[in-house]
Amino acid sequence: MFTFLWDGKPDKISRNTIIQAYENCGLKMINIHAFINSLKCSWIKRLKGTQNQLKRVYNEELNKYGGEILFKSNLNQTDAKKLMTKYKFLNEILISWCKINYKKTYTNISHEIIWHNSNIKKRKQHTILPRMAHKRHYVCKTYIRLQNKNSSIALTI
């Protein structure tokens, strides 16, 4: 798109400006990267629907990491890449979700999900959901100290 617009030459106006609305001096072009990310994220809803072989395989792989909790947690791209599954498309869905969903700051820590949260670390690693937790058998206890500038909270899970 941009190659066509500038006839193969370097951009004369930044791409961030071009995707703006006409009122903001833009050309209302599609942000292709955001569009592709949103298409990949739309697969999350499809994975929850009626079962077929592909969904069963993907859900089986997701269950190794806690299942749907991955899409409810606050995981950044770097930590998501460490969870790489054997299915490239599933990895791309997870990374796209993290690009859109990750919040670096939070307003109320008590509403944060502890598992797979990049803002809550234990020994510089995000807390990984125990293998059996998705089956409601919590087999291990984890001690986490959450700290901010003024206070700290200790949780035993």
pLDDT on residue 63: 85
How many CB atoms sit inside 10 A of residue 124's CB?
A: 5
pLDDT on residue 127: 64
The label of the residue with tokens 């030459």 reads: 9
Query: Among 112, 100, 103, 66, which residue's Cα sits nearest to residue 85?
Result: 66
Positions in the chain short of pLDDT 70 = 106-107, 109-110, 122-157
State percent of the chain over pLDDT 70.
73
pLDDT on residue 144: 47
d(CA 156, CA 42) in angstroms, rounded, equals 35
CA atoms within 13 A on the CB side of 140: 11
d(CA 17, CA 100) in angstroms, rounded, equals 20
Helices marked H in 49-128: 53-63, 77-82, 88-101
d(CA 6, CA 21) in angstroms, rounded, equals 19
Helices marked H in the chain: 2-5, 15-18, 32-48, 53-63, 77-82, 88-101
d(CA 79, CA 77) in angstroms, rounded, equals 6
**Can you read off the two tokens belonging to residue 134?**
């998705």
The label of the residue with tokens 């006409």 reads: 22
pLDDT on residue 92: 93
